[in-house]
Amino acid sequence: MFNMFKGFEKKTGVKMDSVMKLANSVKDANFKDEATVRDLIQRVSKLANRKIPKQKEDQLVQTILSGKTPKDLGEIKKMMDDKK
């Protein structure tokens, strides 16, 4: 498990403790609330040091609010590949 975390950190440049803190801070979040969802997207963007265009943020918010979020990593990867 430790090697997996180190591999993630090396590949992304994001420390696992930062990811865990973020995950813990939203574990009881209301994902039907637009402000909460936007805040999470912006926090993830900042953590990953990636700017998310407003149009992409709006699209992510609508996807999450509608409940049409991917159920596993394979679906997420496919969604990201389709968007390129």
The residue with tokens 């990867």 is 77
Checking if the pLDDT of 67 tops 60, the result is yes
Instruction: State how far the Cα of 46 lies from the Cα of 81, in Å rounded to an integer.
Output: 22
Checking if the pLDDT of 83 tops 80, the result is no
Instruction: State how far the Cα of 35 lies from the Cα of 16, in Å rounded to an integer.
Output: 25
Check residue 58 and give its pLDDT.
92
pTM check: above 0.85: no
Tens digits of per-residue pLDDT, 23-64?
888 888 898 999 999 998 999 888 888 888 999 899 889 988
Check residue 1 and give its pLDDT.
63
